[in-house]
Chain A
Amino acid sequence: MSNEWPLWEVFIRGQHGLNHRHVGSLHAPDAEMAINNARDVYTRRNEGISIWVVRSSEIAASAPSEKGPLFDPSNSKVYRHPTFFDIPDEVGHM
């Protein structure tokens, strides 16, 4: 178990996708093999046109328990949405 290959997270940008999306993870000894394997495992049916792989150990994540402090404050800032502002009909499309 000492020689375990590191874990990589795989992100794929779809045929018409705007951005890369996380699709899963895999083990590989290096980045090149990780991309090769990601191609075989996650794009067998034409799912994408671009692959990113990132060592899982390089990813920092927020904890679910921080959900409140992280995301609640934005709820009070309704003015961040364009729909908050009333523009008179006469002004036309804005």
Chain B
Amino acid sequence: MYAQMVKTEGTRIRSLDEMDPQERAFQERVDAGQKIEPKEWMPEGYRKTLIRQISQHAHSEIVGQLPEGNWITRAPTLERKAILLAKVQDEAGHGLYLYCAAETLDISRDEMYERLHSCKAKYSSIFNYPTLTWADIGAIGWLVDGAAIMNQVPLQRCSYGPYARAMVRICKEESFHQRQGFDILMKMVKGTPAQKAMVQDALNRWWWPSLMMFGPSDDASVHSAQSMAWKIKQNSNDELRQKFVDQTVPQAEYLGLTVPDPDLKWNEAKGGYDFGEPDWEEFFNVIAGNGPCNAERLNARKQAWDDGAWFRDGLTAHAEKVAERRAAAKVAAE
């Protein structure tokens, strides 16, 4: 999940009878599975929640380039390097699709950047963990992008049209990311004992943060109900987390790895795995800005923005000059 703990207005969900006619018509369209489009009326809370969620998702794509970008210059083969470059380029594209989707809700991209840089907007907790070895790049593709897909596939049916359409495009590309990550790990576990140990170590460090990507458990997730009523969100956090564990544990076994959870056990009755509780204190700490890399990530973003100001301004000045020259030439020709 690339958007966690998205705040929704209101304390409880109102019934159709309590709504004014406009809101009621809106809710009925959502209930009927119709898409809401940019120019249409929507409740203010719906608009705000979407801006929070989509921009948080976009910020995650952008900040998510940093942990992986960390290994571009050190990728072990030229082929792996080219693949990693393509992947990081995709992330930039995903950020762009999402910012554009959010912009249809009457907020500008620069405004969203400003909220990120001033810590008013969040990004996924996962990108506050460091990439310490090459195996981490494989683990991110397999686990982090895997968790993202789990969350994003249902978002293709989200009630807000532009977000749903961005998700269709993104999901196609995410599955390239997940496969390339798994491919890295498959190669490594068949390699030397040192390579295999490196993979196990990566799994040990990324497993729990990946589970936390789905957000706090359902009873602690105060904002979910309204998001689900508006069909911004399709599944509960715990539902998606369970699905992720059920899908991922066999893949870990295939790689010959041990999932770092002593409570992990197949439960025949429910047809899924039982698993331990993530460290929620750590989660809330990371979300609050106190994770291992929060400061580093944000500083890198801010520095890129500030140091790039003269370049952006230069391009604008150039565009203006060319436009003026063209206008003058047109006048002269007439």
A40–B85 Cα distance when bound, in Å, is: 13
| B103 close to chain A: CB less than 8 A | yes
Interchain nearest-CB distance for A39 vs B (Å) = 12
A25–B312 Cα distance when bound, in Å, is: 18
Give A residues with C-beta under 8 Å from B. Answer: 1, 3-5, 7, 24-27, 29-30, 33, 40-41, 44, 61, 63-64
Cross-chain contact of B319 among A7, A24, A26, A30 (Cβ < 8 A)? A30
Interchain nearest-CB distance for A14 vs B (Å) = 14
A5–B96 Cα distance when bound, in Å, is: 14
With A4-B110, A26-B96 as known contacts, state yes or no: A64 contacts B40, CB within 8 Å. yes
With a cutoff of 8 Å between Cβ atoms, the chain A residues found around residue B89 in the complex are 40, 44
Task: Identify 9 residue pairs between A and B in the complex whose beta-carbon atoms are under 8 Å apart, listed by A's number.
Answer: A3-B313, A4-B108, A26-B100, A29-B315, A41-B93, A44-B86, A61-B39, A64-B37, A64-B40
Query: What 8 A-B pairs have minimum CB-CB distances, sorted nearest first?
Result: A30-B319, A29-B315, A29-B319, A25-B100, A4-B110, A41-B93, A64-B40, A1-B110
Cross-chain contact of A27 among B40, B109, B318 (Cβ < 8 A)? B109
> Count the A-B residue pairs with Cβ separation under 8 angstroms: how many?
52
A84–B245 Cα distance when bound, in Å, is: 57
Chain B interface residue count: which class? 20 to 34
Cross-chain contact of B318 among A3, A25, A29, A63 (Cβ < 8 A)? A29
With a cutoff of 8 Å between Cβ atoms, the chain A residues found around residue B230 in the complex are none
| B97 close to chain A: CB less than 8 A | yes
Find residues 38-54 in chain B having any chain A CB closer than 8 Å to their own CB.
Answer: 39-40
Chain A: CB-nearest residue to B315: A29
* Other contacts beyond A24-B100, A61-B39: 6, CB < 8 A: A1-B110, A3-B312, A5-B315, A7-B100, A29-B318, A63-B39
With a cutoff of 8 Å between Cβ atoms, the chain A residues found around residue B108 in the complex are 1, 4
Most chain-B CB neighbours within 10 Å: which of A24, A26, A40? Answer: A24
Cross-chain contact of A3 among B37, B93, B316 (Cβ < 8 A)? B316
With A4-B110, A64-B40 as known contacts, state yes or no: A33 contacts B96, CB within 8 Å. no
A26–B111 Cα distance when bound, in Å, is: 15
Chain B: CB-nearest residue to A26: B96
Cross-chain contact of B316 among A5, A40, A41 (Cβ < 8 A)? A5
With a cutoff of 8 Å between Cβ atoms, the chain A residues found around residue B318 in the complex are 29-30
Chain A: CB-nearest residue to B103: A7
| B238 close to chain A: CB less than 8 A | no
Interchain nearest-CB distance for B321 vs A (Å) = 10
Chain B: CB-nearest residue to A61: B39
| B246 close to chain A: CB less than 8 A | no
Interchain nearest-CB distance for B123 vs A (Å) = 20
Q: Is the Cβ of B90 less than 8 Å from the Cβ of A44? A: yes
